Structure formats: structure tokens, C-alpha cells
Amino acid sequence: MNNYDKNLKLLEDNYIYSKNMEHDACGVGLVASTEGKKSRKIVEYGIEALKAVWHRGAVDADGKTGDGAGIHIEIPYDFFVEKIETKGHNHDHSEICIGMIFLPRDNFNVQEDCKTIVEKELTKSNFKIYGWRQVPINTKVLGEKANSNRPEITQVLFKYNYKNLVDKDLERKLYEIRRKIEKEAIKNNLKDFYICSLSAKSIIYKGMFLAEALSDFYIDLKDERFISRYAIFHQRFSTNTFPSWDLAQPFRAIAHNGEINTFKGNCNWMKVHENEIASLLFEDIENLKPVIQPGASDSAALDNVFELLNISGQPAPLAKLMLIPDAWSKKSKILPREHQRLFNFLNSTMEPWDGPAAIAATDNEWAIVANDRNGLRPLRYTITKDKLLFAGSETGMIDLDEKKIISKGKLGPGEIIGIRINKGKVFNNSEIKNYLAKEFKNFNNQIVDLDKKIIINKEKFIFSGSELRKRQHAFGITIEDLELILHPMAEDAKEAVGSMGDDTPLAVLSDHYRPLYHFFRQNFSQVTNPPIDSLRENKVMSLKTRFGNLGNILDFDKLTKDNIYVLESPILSNSQFEKFVNFFGKNSKIIDCTFTHDQSLQESLDNILKESEIAARQGTTQLILTDKTISEEKIAIPMLLCVGAINNHLIKNKLRGYVSINVQTGEALDTHSFATLLGVGATTVNPYLALDSLRQRYEKKTFWKF
């Protein structure tokens, strides 16, 4: 183990660093042919553009070690035919498959173990292996740190023994083989073994060098036979994390500039979806699990899911809209109705991977660049008379003749621009969404808008007078909470404004009672982003929530066993919540989240978990958690604890996808408490005590605006 790895392990052992907390803020881009022709010029432009965004990555003190940079291009056929023939084989003009692989450098025996796993899985699946190729590299361009933890970089050259497996089917086969190899490597504790790409279509050259050193380090890239119809490039800037060779981008499907702020929740929800995924396209669906690989960064995890959707048949633009959706509203008068229907359906299939994001992606049929719903990362594009599309984080990455420019612009929130690689046609944002809306126009029949089912004429309030005051005291709601937090939200229709780095003492150090919500802090983006109000900026934000039985995300025809229910907001008033429970009737189960003095908290939680599991196994679709029954004899269990425990328990038992968790609580008071409840697994929240408290203040005429 080199010094770099020793230091990294020391930091991990002392809980200073965790690979699970990796984030990125990088430079990303795409160069592609708009007529579907391979050329050397595209590869050269890709390398040149990557060098131009060098400032979007960090540089180590040695002046040569970077956060990581790389390029994703099509496999240069003629180049690798020659490499196969030099190994004594005659190539039969079938598709060439290439695996670009990082191996542990310091241990020859471990290298052989890794190669054995690769060869075993390939030969079992009827592939002929031509041999292994040591990738020629120039280590002089590396910094001391990059060189000390440099892997052994090698390629495996092979082909399928029969000619009846090509294109999508071949890529799907290689994807499943790669996943089996990765699982076997983890099982055998083979560290520093990483497959950059395993494909018959494309190959990835990347590493922990500076962007300007890419073509100097990888000598292959200077060969004139390296031609492609697209080049996706990426310069990494890892915020508050450690660079590594495997986390350099591009990944297999995407290159990502930004941060996924919902990362933990997305990973947990993917575990739920894993229980339901099924497809006859694969030999064994279990080979693909876990979908998100252990230790993946937020970008790598997004790539894992993006790639799975591509491989199972969903085109890259559709995968983007599923994972990084547009924000939209039924009230919008700008969006075409067919686009609203498309977004309504896609937003009801999976949870959004939210956060600043600009991506370049390919599924070997499409090459796209796209922005997140807020447009918080720059993406600019240019289309030229030379039949080329340039897109990336910067203007001027390539020095272009202005006279040859046909059009240029920037991508706004949620927008996409892309090319059908084989057809050589550019699709703008509207054209892509028109195409997808036409393809998936029949799926909206599954969606039920619950807002139309729980319309209320008169609001209902539950507690008042002394009963209300008792409950306020029991839940620790103080006069300060009512005056400084709750009251302004009702009077001004705004949440209280505070600084990002608030100086409130940590709850764990407080001498006074602090709700469990206060022990949690928001996972802020590592870079400054403007505050966003979902009500006033509904073009880029929405509170839309969906629930119901989750289905198979790999098969839109069997996406759900039941209807998909949607609500405009997860926060329900007392009357809405009552109608909501009545709407589902026998399909709902009320779970009392209180306990008595003769029970321990652990016993009470165990009983709740058991009750929830039984309800899910009996076909209940809606769990209703309530603490409304507190009294002199019964104490409320912190609702955050209940929701998190039930959510994790049901995930562990592969039941979470069958039920929604709906909360009726007296604890929830402000946006932070709502956010934490939703974050640990709640689907809807009814803050009955907060609403009753507002009603009391209204009756006492404390609101001067009313």
C-alpha cells in the first residue's frame, strides 16, 4: 500500500473522510457530428475542448496531479483490428469488444486474479478472447500523487463467438457480464479493480492527470485512426473530497457537472425499486443488483441508474427526463399539453435526482447534453456549417470561425439538445420532448389526480382551548415557536428567512428540550446557489408528490400494479387528510405511534414495525402513522423516529414499494420538520397541531393583516 492509500485509510478509519460523501462541480461537454459521420476532427476537438476547461478542476501541490479528466469516444475499429492481428489472430470483420480496465498495480498475483475473473465470465458467455493489451502511457506527465496510486491500465480484446448478437443485444449482454465481474471482484475483496468501459461501441480513456495531459498520457489518442461520431469529455473538481482514478469521469453513460443533493434518498429509493425490477432481456436480474455500486459518488450513482435505464431500452433523453426531470405545473400556460402529460407520467415513475446538474450523455444511439430543472449549471451550444455540434460548460472551448456558425445559444432549466447518432440529425429541446410525448402518450391512464378526489368546502379543526394547550406543551411547542416561526408563515405566506450557516447551538449540546428534527441539518450544496421558492418559482420547482404501489421501472407496460396517485403537495390540511384516509378506506391501516409508561421505547418501536410489516403483507397500501391519541397515560414517540424505522424496516424486508407512509403529527411545525419527515420516508404530512394553533391565533385576532 502506497503512502497515498495509507493516508486515505487513516482518514477513513478516523471518520474524517467517507467515499460516500463524494461531490463534484466540474467542466463537461460534447462534440458530435450532426450528419452521423465518424471523423478524426471530432476526437481532436474533444481533446482540445477538455484542455480548455482545465480551470474547472483542482491541481495538487505537485502541480501535475489533478482531480481527474477523461474522454468517451467510439471504438476505433481499424486501430484495434491491427492490435488483434499483432497477437496472431485473424479478425473476421465482426464487432470488436474492448474492456478498458484498471488493475491494482503493486501486486502481480492480484492482477492475475482480476484477469481470471474477467476471462471466466467472458468465456462462460461464449466470447472469444483475443488477448490482453498493455495500454501505452507516458508517466512523465503525472504528478507524484497521481503516479503513486496509478493503476495498471490494460485492455482486454474479444468478440462474441456468433454473429447473431449485435448492437443493443450485445451491449446488454456485456453490461450484465460486467456487473457479474464487479460482484465477483467485491466478493473476493479485490480492491483497485475497476472497469472503465466494457463495450462493442465505445471506450473511455480517463485518469487522475490534468486535462491538458490527456493525449500526452494516453498515447493511443494521438493515433489518426481514432475516429468517432461523438466525444464526451469531463474535467472533475471534487469538492471537499479526494480524487481517485476510478472516480474520474466520464462514466459509462454520463459525464456530470454538479451535485445531487438528494443523493442519500435516491440511493434508498433505488433499493426499493430493485425489489420490483424484472426483465426478460437479461439472463438473471439478480446479476444487476445492487444497481448502485457500493462506495459510488453521487455522479457515479446517477450514472449507474442512467445506464440501467438505457440498457433496458429507455433512450438517453427519456432517462434524463425520468431522473433529472423538468419542473412543471398544471397551471402553466407556456408548456404544451402533451409535454405536461409526458412530465406527469415520467415524474410519477421515479424520484428526481435533484441538485445542480449539467450532463453530457450517450446510450450509443443518442448523444445529448441537458440541464437540471433549475438551470443552476451553465451549458452552451453551437452548431456549425461543418456539420458539428459543440456543447459544454464554457463559451469558446473551441476556437470557431464565426462565419461558419449556424446557431448558438444556452440551455435553460430542464432543456435538452441532442443528436440521433445513426441518423445524424439534431433535435432541439421541443423536438425531443415532442418525440417522447408521442411515444409515451398512452401511459397517463394510470395516473389519478387525488387533488380532485379530496376537495374540501370547509376546514376542520381538531383541538382547541385547554386540550390544545396541553398538546402544545406535550410536543414542546413554545410561545416563541408560535410567535417567531408559525405566525409569520401564516401572515406573510413565507417561511422565516435565515442564513445558511446559522449559529443556533447544536441540539445535542442544549440543556433544554429540542425536537428530534433539530438534530438534523440540511446537506447543503458545496457551492453557493440562490434560495428558491417553489410557490413563486413554479417554472423550475414543484411540490408534486406521488405514491401508491411502485412497479417495474424497466417495463412501462407493467410500471405499476395499481394506479399511480399524485398530489400537488405532500402537506395536507386536517380535512384533506380525513378525506384522504376515507378515500382509501380498507386499504389504509392506522398505526398508533404512542406508548405507555409500562412500555420501553424499544418495545414500542418493535411493535410498530411488526404492525407495519403485517399490514404491508396483508395488502394494505396506505400506512397512517398518528400521534393524535396522546394523553396523560400515553406519550408520543418522536414521529421522525417512527417514519425512519418503518421505512428502513420495510426496505429491508422488500415491502416498501407496496405501501406509502402517511403522517399525522403534532410535532411538525415548520419547513425543516416537514423536510426531515419527507426525507426519511414519509409520503404525506398532516401537521394537525400547527393548523389548530393557527386557528386559535386567528380567533384571538392576533393576525393584523386579516
pLDDT tens track for 147-173: 999 999 999 999 999 888 888 999 999
Q: State which fold the 20-75+186-441 domain adopts.
A: Glutamine Phosphoribosylpyrophosphate, subunit 1, domain 1 (3.60.20)
The domain spans of the chain are 20-75+186-441, 448-496+539-699
Q: Are 461 and 687 in contact (CB under 8 A)?
A: no
Report pLDDT for 574: 94
State phi, psi for 512 to the nearest 5 degrees: -105, 165
How many whole angstroms separate alpha carbon 90 and alpha carbon 98?
16
Sheet holding 545-547, edge to edge: 447-449, 564-567, 545-547
Report pLDDT for 393: 86
The answer to whether residue 244 scores a pLDDT higher than 70 is yes
pLDDT tens track for 629-646: 999 999 999 999 999 999
Q: Are 455 and 68 in contact (CB under 8 A)?
A: no
User: 22: pLDDT confidence band, cut at 50, 70 and 90?
Assistant: very low
Q: Which residue has the cell 420516508?
A: 681
Q: Which residue has the cell 430542464?
A: 414
CB-side exposure of 19: number of CA atoms within 13 Å?
Answer: 16
pLDDT (mean) for 477-488:
85
Strand partners, 207: 69
How many whole angstroms separate alpha carbon 396 and alpha carbon 409?
12
Q: Are 332 and 539 in contact (CB under 8 A)?
A: yes
pLDDT tens track for 396-451: 788 888 899 999 999 998 999 999 998 889 999 999 999 999 887 666 566 788 88
Strand partners, 360: 255, 369
Sheet holding 194-199, edge to edge: 127-134, 152-160, 97-103, 194-199
Report pLDDT for 550: 75
448-496+539-699 maps to which CATH number? 3.20.20.70
**Residues acting as catalytic residues:** 26
- The overall average pLDDT reported for the chain is 87
Segment among 124-128, 344-348, 461-465, 669-673 with least mean pLDDT:
344-348
Q: Which residue has the cell 427526463?
A: 321
How many helices (H) does the chain have, and how many strands (E)? 20, 25
C-alpha cell at 206: 480517463
Q: Any residues with CB less than 8 A from the CB of 496 and at least 6 apart, and which?
A: 484, 485, 488, 489, 670
